[in-house]
Amino acid sequence: MTKVIIFDFDGTLADTLNAIVTITNRLSVEFGYKPATKDELAEIRNLNSWEIIKHSGISIFKLPFLVRRVRKELRNEIQEIRLFPGIKEALLELKNQGNQLGIITSNSKENVLALMERNGLEEIFDFIYTGTTLFGKHKVINNWLKQAAVKSEEVVYVGDETRDIEAAKKAKIKIIAVSWGFNAKAALAEYKPDFLIEHPHQLIEVIKNW
């Protein structure tokens, strides 16, 4: 059976946290929420998405506009963004094993391609699917499953946030949660992902035994 491995981008493949924090802090006055301090980041990593929104004080109605602005401004920072250590090697090995690889992200395809091209990985992904639904990621996943005519039991999603776990469960696909991204390991564990890993090389073993 061909395995389809779908990756989140920010916090899973690309280390964009510092850039995103800088951008969102810069936009805080315009969008009416409080910026995050360095001391708060450790606390925020243990919160789920709704708790983070409540903590920041941003209006839920402004969120879609903020996401679009962050995505646009991130394009100016993309040359400074790096893949997490070990990710490139893991992706190449997974591809060599005959798996189908893809990305589903709320970031822009332009940003994703820019980073992948810089790392010589522009040909490794079979698809890059973007959608801006902040709390309806399962709908984006389901739309892709329908378009690609892929059975859910053939698919695993790899993400770094509690909302990735929730989305995968709603879409009825397996989820590998990674602890090197935004949410802390303890926060991810509370949402009971199918797998919880701490280093990209563990992806190889998980996929092999799945």
Is 8 a known active-site residue?
Answer: yes
Residue from 8, 10, 160, 164 carrying the catalytic annotation:
8
Q: What is the DSSP string of 41-96?
A: HHHHTTS-HHHHHHHHT--TTTHHHHHHHHHHHHGGGGGG--BPTTHHHHHHHHHH
The enclosing H or E element of 130 equals strand 127-130
| Coil, strand or helix at 7 | strand
| 95 touches 121 (CB < 8 A) | no
- Enzyme catalytic residues: 8
